[in-house]
Amino acid sequence: MLNRAIMNRRTALAAVAGGIAVTLAPAALALNADEARKLVDRLTDDVMSVINSGKSETAMYDEFERIFAKYADVPIIAQTTLGVAWRSASTTQRSAYVEAFRGYMARKYGKRFREFIGSEITVTGSRPEKSFFVVDSTVKLAGQAPFEVNWLISDKSGKDLMFNLIIEGINMMRSEREEIGLMLDKNGGDINGLITDLKTAG
């Protein structure tokens, strides 16, 4: 079983990206390794700027939600997280779910960001993998050994966006899909109930 320290830092890093595991069909890549790397550089710079800003937690959550919307493929992430229930959801429910999910992610993981004050995220490389790119990085937290984080970047949605995060080999977004599944089960499969819960959860 993973110890609490590792789980905490994995939970916190998941917020930086807010991504979900998604299987992408092979496609021609317009995105290249350098562009993928620059995207992660900008993403991490924006996140660390907020973390070290001294703003209140509420203000930080708003900033994290903005960053999530800017750098992550939120519609694909939300759809993947909801799983098969997405198929039966109405257009209105899908839109409401994506919005609620975005806020939920910002609040849930934003609470862990204080651990990142004064930390460093260093991008170390970028490489193609099937129809996307993997950007490798090293994270240094105070009092802990450095650990590896891999950012999965794709342009399948028409923009260069992050769609998943792997921390020390652990697929964080697969875990998030399981969490949403449990919340949906708690609501008896009712998507409206799940949306309501997401608006206050985190």
* Predicted pLDDT at 11: 53
Read off the CATH number of the domain in which 122 is found.
Answer: 3.10.450.710
Which among 162, 8, 189, 196 has a CA at the least distance from the CA of 82? 189
Instruction: Give me the number of domains the chain comprises.
Output: 1
For residues 151-174, average pLDDT: 89
Helix, strand, coil shares of the chain, percent, nearest 5, are 55, 20, 30
Indicate whether 16 pLDDT > 50: no
- Name which of 77-81, 128-132, 141-145 the model is least confident about: 141-145
Q: Which domain holds residue 100?
A: 4-22+43-196
Indicate whether 154 pLDDT > 60: yes
Indicate whether 35 pLDDT > 80: yes
The pLDDT confidence band at residue 57, using thresholds 50, 70 and 90, is confident
Per the CB < 8 A criterion, the answer to whether 184 and 86 are in contact is: no
